[in-house]
Amino acid sequence: DGGITQSPKYLFRKEGQNVTLSCEQNLNHDAMYWYRQDPGQGLRLIYYSQIVNDFQKGDIAEGYSVSREKKESFPLTVTSAQKNPTAFYLCATRERYEQYFGPGTRLTVT
């Protein structure tokens, strides 16, 4: 899992509540990514950030928001507009061609 911390490991929320997932890195990498993982679908890109104060939507950004105020931090907010938020969320950084992944947060919304 390298120098990437995701907390908490498991998160439970009621439907209709916003929830923020934490991602912190000490690898000094500029680029950071959020992925969602569902069984049988591989990883799908939610948002990415190439540099501080800049971020771009990925393939499935609807219902999610991010911020990148510091190089070390890239929090993801899952809003009540996300129709199927229950999933495993992975944060990653990139150096050149290689991505480094955090341990993930499993979010369950009931």
Partner 1 sequence: AQSVTQLDSHVSVSEGTPVLLRCNYSSSYSPSLFWYVQHPNKGLQLLLKYTSAATLVKGINGFEAEFKKSETSFHLTKPSAHMSDAAEYFCVVSDIPGGYQKVTFGTGTKLQVIP
Residues contributing to the site for partner 1 (CB under 8 A):
1, 4, 6, 9, 31, 33, 35, 40-45, 50, 88, 90, 92, 94, 97-104, 106
Closest Cα partner for 60 from 75, 44, 73? 44
Q: Are 76 and 47 in contact (CB under 8 A)?
A: yes
Nearest alpha carbon to residue 7 among 26, 25, 21: 21
Q: What's the closest the beta carbon of residue 51 comes to partner 1, in angstroms?
A: 12
Rounded to the nearest whole angstrom, what is the least distance from the CB of residue 5 to partner 1 in the complex? 11
Q: Between residues 1 and 62, which has the closer beta carbon with respect to partner 1?
A: 1
CB 110 within 8 A of CB 91: no
Cβ distance to partner 1 smaller for residue 9 or 83: 9
Could you tell me if 71 and 30 are in contact, meaning their C-beta atoms sit under 8 angstroms apart?
yes
Closer to partner 1 by Cβ: residue 7 or 18: 7
Can you tell me whether residue 37 is helix, strand or coil? strand
DSSP 26: -
**Closest separation between CB of residue 88 and partner 1, Å?**
8
- Report the residue number, 58 or 75, with the smaller CB distance to partner 1: 58
Give the nearest distance from C-beta 92 to partner 1 in angstroms: 8
